[in-house]
Structure 1
Amino acid sequence: FTIGQRRGLGVGGGDEPLYVTRIDAIRNRVYIGPEEELYASGAVLGEVSLLIEPAALASFDLDVKIRYKHSAAAGRATIDADGRARVRFAEPQKAITPGQSAVFFAGDRLLGGGVIDEAIPLVSAATPSVEGA
């Protein structure tokens, strides 16, 4: 299963399509829900590499790409004491996927990036629906 997947879930029957909204590999669970549960207000990144001083990152209006073919989204980022980046988007983004890379730009200048550890959700967590994924 992948975040945003709609086909092959083995569930259905409702009035609206269901999507994979979250995967918990440790507990071997796949969470499904309506499309609006795919949207997130931000992301937490690990394995962060920066080309500027961490404190300076917060002063930039960023363009953030959360996957290869993603159009960059406006946002801001800060670096936590543990070295992880917290990205907040100006507009909610769909299907932010842990394990994918995210990169920050200011115009055409690359400032850094990291690996998505988790999405910061807009809505409450989905209900586990498919186990053994």
Structure 2
Amino acid sequence: MDNHDSVRAKVAQIFIDAFGERAALFKGGVPARDANDALGVALAEQLEPLVADEVAFHLIDWETDAAFLVAFMMFPERFTSAELQAAVEMFLVHVPAHVQAAARLAGYEVPNILGGGDVADGERPAPLSEAG
């Protein structure tokens, strides 16, 4: 089992311990569809229904990444440094594009309001998976 699999297993176990059978909602696929539909219906009160459904998809599709953040915040001692590096890599590869797409579909601009984070191509560090 590599660090990616290990962190996924730990997050799953934390959610099973905390939420029992409802933990399956964080595995994606069909279980997440109910949440996607409910969010899409709520957003359709202000957005076109197809756009609302797409925004909902972009917010629901990274549920396992969100589960990692919650599990880590609750039990940071359960994760190794290597697992945290793997989880951050998975998060950064998957989540930002979904959040940016959801914001833009909902009519928001996505400027870099926090400052920092912008680097020239020649200064860009290697991704975590290539860094060590």
TM-score, scaled relative to structure 2: 0.24
TM-score, scaled relative to structure 1: 0.24
**Structure number, greater radius of gyration:** 2
Greater share of helix residues, 1 or 2? 2
